[in-house]
Structure 1
Amino acid sequence: MPVFAVTYTYTDDTAGRDEHRPAHKEYLNSLAVQGVNLCSGPFGADETPGALLLISAATKADALDATEGDPFRRQGLVADVSARAWTPMLGRLAPEMG
């Protein structure tokens, strides 16, 4: 199955993210259990607030659709979301993702 690098750019609503983070993590974990969310996490503290999600999906549209139920997206805490096809080729995680 293809892999897509989905990036979130968060809004400035830090309090909203704090409030909805448990549900956000629960949702992304449910995608991980299903084999859809291969790996995800926030960008570093010195970066523009956002996150990277590596999503296994048949198409780019399916990858984006998988994130629509994320509480961060449902609550309007993601200002921008995009997906790009990504081919894991090298490194210790590549065999698991490819």
Structure 2
Amino acid sequence: MPLFAVDYTYLPDKAEARDRTRPEHRGWLAEQADHGILLTVGPYPDGSGALLIISADGADAAAAMLARDPFARDGLIGGVRVTEWKPVIGAFAD
């Protein structure tokens, strides 16, 4: 199944709302990890966004999955970039 690198960009003026929604967001992320969809995730240390690595049948499936994120549902993500990713060495390589 293809892997996708997802770059979330956060808007500074939405920080408080993200803080309030973060427990639900992380619960949703944990569910995706339990189902083998989310392989890893983490915020950028500067607070500007996050990187997610997901497994999906295609770009449309990846976008549909990401639309269910509580951060997306509540309009707390400034931008999303989804790029198919083909690791060749390391933990995620075939």
Could you tell me which residue of structure 1 aligns to residue 67 of structure 2? 68
| Residue type at the aligned position of 1:28 | L
Runs of 4+ in 1 over 4 A off after TM superposition: none
Deviation at 1:84, TM superposition (A): 0.4
| Alpha-carbon distance in structure 1 between the residues aligned to 2:59 and 2:88 | 19
2:92 aligns to what? Answer: 94
Q: Can you give the 5+ residue segments of structure 2 that lack an aligned partner in the other structure?
A: none
TM-score normalized with structure 2 length:
0.92
Return the alpha-carbon distance in structure 2 between the equivalents of residues 30 and 2 of structure 1: 19
- Residue 36 of structure 1 aligns with an amino acid whose one-letter code is I
Establish whether residue 4 from structure 1 lines up as the match of residue 13 from structure 2. Answer: no
Match of 1:41 in 2: 42
CA distance in 1 between partners of 2:11 and 2:36 (Å): 28
Quote the offset at 1:82 in angstroms.
1.5
TM-score where L is the length of structure 1: 0.88
- Contact 1:6 / 1:63 at 8 angstroms: preserved in 2? no
Aligned to 1:90, what secondary structure does the other structure show? Answer: coil
Structure 1 equivalent of residue 21 of structure 2: 20
Task: Return 5+ residue gaps in structure 1 as ranges.
Answer: none
Identity, % of aligned pairs?
40
Amino acid corresponding to residue 64 of structure 2 in structure 1: D
Distance across 2 between alignment mates of 1:40 and 1:14: 18
Q: How many residues align?
A: 93
